[in-house]
Amino acid sequence: MRLDKFLAKCNLGTRSQVRVLLKQKQIKVNGQVENQPKRQIDEKVDAITFRDEPLKYETFVYYLLNKPKGIISATEDDKQKTVLDLLDDEGRHKLVFPVGRLDIDTHGLLLLTNNGKLAHAMLSPKKHVAKVYLAEVSGIMTEEDKEAFAQGIDLKDHHCQPAQLKILATDLANQSSRVEITIHEGKFHQIKRMVQVCGKSVTDLQRLSIGPLSLPNDLDLGDYRRLTPDELESLSIFGVDL
Ligand code: URA
């Protein structure tokens, strides 16, 4: 590809801005200063540097976001703030989108990427990717509820696949429970509706994990970071180019 295109894709600026960098002799190709925007390069073979720092063009990017409440899991909206509003320019330039949706009042782990094939594989019902949620519930969840989850809850429009309900704590005085729920599909308001079928209601919902990815303990609400090399490697189970 053309050198100026490559530099723009590396987020060094617009095509006209990177031409200025070339004129300023800040770019080297294989150790030699290059000032020609039209120079053809092979990004897989040539070593390109900016101020002597290597540049690498990434097709795909992956961010783990700790989504706060009050933000919608969409790429644009007329009224509400979206998860893209939490990213910097680099993320927005790469045209990332959320893999699946969390309700506006749900918080926790959201993967953002521009790798459509990965998103498709992770969301495919055939892959049965596990999603783990921590829920605060108004009402006492019981052993019978656990059994109902394991059998597959009947919603109005959908018979749920077997799901795991783990009762972490119950508070009889406050009539509330803390539970961990694992589902392998992603229907609209699924967790809230499953709990409702048991005669209780979710008062707080947090996603802890999706497939091999878990919410990092040190990621504050509203913060995001790139996947670590190990996390990226863990996504190879989906069998798509990363
Ligand atoms: N289930 C829900 O009810 N809401 C979510 O945001 C995710 C799963």
Q: How far is CA 211 from CA 76, 106, 110, in A?
A: 26, 18, 12
Return the domain boundaries, the chain.
3-54, 62-125+213-238, 130-210
Q: Structure pTM?
A: 0.84
Fold of 62-125+213-238: Alpha-Beta Plaits (3.30.70)
pLDDT recorded at residue 58 = 80
pLDDT recorded at residue 62 = 95
CATH class given for the domain over 3-54: alpha beta
* Tokens matching residue 242: 């990363």
- Walking along the chain (242 residues) 10 residues at a time, the average pLDDT comes out as 91 88 96 96 92 88 97 94 90 87 98 96 94 98 98 96 98 98 96 98 98 97 95 96 91
CB of 102 within 6 A of ligand 1: the answer is yes
pLDDT recorded at residue 95 = 86
- Domain 130-210 CATH (choose: 3.30.70.1560, 3.60.20.10, 3.30.365.10, 3.40.718.10): 3.30.70.1560
- Please enumerate in sequence order all residues whose Cβ is within 8 A of that of 133, keeping only pairs 6 or more positions apart, or say none: 108, 180, 181, 182, 183, 191, 205, 206, 207, 208
Q: Say if 62-125+213-238 and 130-210 have the same CATH topology.
A: yes
For ligand 1, atom 3: residue with the closest CA: 189
> Ligand 1 atom closest to Cα of 131?
8
For ligand 1, atom 4: residue with the closest CA: 189
Q: How far is the CA of 97 from the centre of ligand 1 (A)?
A: 18
